[in-house]
Amino acid sequence: LWRDRVLRTLSLIVAVLAAVWGAWLALMPLYARQDMALGPREYGIVLSALGVGGLAGAVVVTRVNRLLGARWAMFADLVGTALMVALPALATDIRAVAAGAFLGGMGGTLWTVNARTLTQRVVPDEMLGRYSAAARLFSFGAMPLGAALVGLLAEWGGARFAFGVFALAVVVTPVPFFRNVTPSALRAFRAG
């Protein structure tokens, strides 16, 4: 995992994305009630948008991959996750926040399907379990860290500020992504 530049980059980006998801899931109930003044039904709409986005991603992932390629489909998740946390930082309108949740859910599926497919091609079968455990340590380990950090940031600067900080964290991920997850690296994965 650590020796391979692409696998390392994907795992570190997943850690950022997982921290963002942990932050969003931890802060959204409070934000929805206090800042957006949503009741349980409206909050359910926002959460449902996240799930519907994930289902939509599963339905369109093959078409998106054919149209854009795996690299751009994965980049779509970076955009979707950034919007998932940026829109609550910018607006309290349920339509905007639900749209961000939808795009985050959809992008998450696009990333997961493509990242798993790529890693299963390059990681030897006898190492796949160990690789998956190490990679999941990054993601599952980052979720509670994101939840804790968003609480501190929200306490210090407010919920919108906290969402904005996490949006900025996602905005920087395309730099290492495009630098290391290159078309030639992906071709090597497919050939391997």
**In this structure, what CATH number is given to the domain that contains residue 143?**
1.20.1250.20
Task: Give the closest residue to 135 by CA, choosing from 16, 12, 3.
Answer: 12
The residue type found at 75 is F
Task: Give the closest residue to 44 by CA, choosing from 161, 36, 20.
Answer: 36
H-helix or E-strand spanning residue 36: none
**Sequence-ordered alpha helix ranges (H) in the chain:** 5-34, 40-68, 70-90, 94-122, 128-157, 159-171, 174-180, 183-191
% of the chain residues with pLDDT over 70 = 98
Average pLDDT over residues 57-74: 97
**Number of structural domains, the chain?**
1
Residue 122 in this model has a pLDDT that exceeds 90: no
Residue 192: its pLDDT value, please? Answer: 55
SS (H, E, C) 81-131: HHHHHHHHHHCCCHHHHHHHHHHHHHHHHHHHHHHHHHHHHHCCHHHHHHH
What is the spatial distance between Cα 162 and Cα 185, in angstroms, rounded to a whole number? 35
Please write the tens of the pLDDT for every residue from 26-65: 999 999 999 999 999 999 999 999 999 999 999 999 999 9
What is the spatial distance between Cα 37 and Cα 179, in angstroms, rounded to a whole number? 42
Q: Where residue 187 falls among pLDDT bands split at 50, 70, 90?
A: confident
24: tokens are 């969003």
pTM, full prediction: 0.94
Residue 37: its pLDDT value, please? Answer: 98
Please write the tens of the pLDDT for every residue from 126-160: 999 999 999 999 999 999 999 999 999 999 999 99
Which has the minimum average pLDDT: 28-37, 79-88, 116-125?
A: 116-125
What is the spatial distance between Cα 63 and Cα 35, in angstroms, rounded to a whole number? 38
What is the spatial distance between Cα 68 and Cα 60, in angstroms, rounded to a whole number? 12
61: tokens are 């992932």
Residue 114 in this model has a pLDDT that exceeds 70: yes
For 181, the domain range is 5-191
Q: Where residue 188 falls among pLDDT bands split at 50, 70, 90?
A: confident
How many other C-beta atoms lie within 10 A of the C-beta of residue 72?
Answer: 13
Residue 93 in this model has a pLDDT that exceeds 80: yes
